[in-house]
């Protein structure tokens, strides 16, 4: 039975945080740990990517509704044309490594989730926030 969670994604300097709305994601099961959450979201993302990558159009254009729907998910694109399928195991390994390396941070409500083995304290209105950190070049 699918379990719906709500996620908002932020990139420093790219968007006004007040404008970002939580987006629902239907996972295969309710995640108990941070690892479960990241693995479930990554597997869902790989399935969605592989399903849509071959849906390219002869004339690439987006309707206003498509642009708004994609913007709510955090990225607007014209879609992909063919190519290799994403590999679930590689994507999961990359997701977990990026979390451990601090490339992005994950919050449950206002609490930062810092350990892959950390359990998720569920509430009825829990929203997860992912923040991708920007690496600064120094000189």
Average confidence (pLDDT) over 3-29: 80
pLDDT confidence bin for 79, thresholds 50/70/90:
low
Q: What percentage of residues in the chain have a pLDDT greater than 90?
A: 53
pLDDT confidence bin for 85, thresholds 50/70/90:
confident
Residue 77 has pLDDT above 70, yes or no: no
Task: Report pTM.
Answer: 0.75
- The reported pLDDT for the residue numbered 57 is 46
DSSP 82-124: S-PPPPHHHHHHHHHHHHHTTSEEEEETTEEE--TTPBP---T
- The reported pLDDT for the residue numbered 106 is 96
Residue 40 has pLDDT above 70, yes or no: yes
Query: Please, which contacts does 71-78 make with residues 24 or more away whose CB atoms are closer than 8 Å?
Result: 72/21, 72/23, 73/23, 74/9, 74/11, 74/20, 74/23
DSSP 26-79: EESS---BHHHHHHHHHHHHHHHHHHHTT---SS----HHHHHHHHHHT-----
């Amino acid at each position: 039975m699918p379990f719906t969670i709500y996620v908002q994604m932020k990139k420093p300097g790219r968007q006004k945080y007040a404008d970002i709305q939580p987006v629902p994601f239907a996972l295969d099961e309710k995640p108990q740990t941070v690892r479960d959450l990241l693995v479930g979201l990554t597997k869902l993302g790989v399935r969605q990517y592989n399903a849509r990558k071959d849906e390219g159009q002869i004339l690439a254009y987006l309707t206003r509704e498509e642009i708004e729907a994609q913007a709510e998910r955090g990225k607007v694109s014209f879609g992909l044309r063919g190519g290799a399928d994403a590999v679930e195991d590689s994507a999961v390994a990359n997701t977990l490594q990026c979390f451990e390396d601090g490339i992005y941070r994950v919050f449950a409500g206002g609490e930062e989730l810092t350990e892959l083995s950390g359990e998720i304290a569920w509430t009825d209105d829990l929203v997860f926030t992912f923040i991708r950190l920007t690496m600064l070049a120094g000189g």
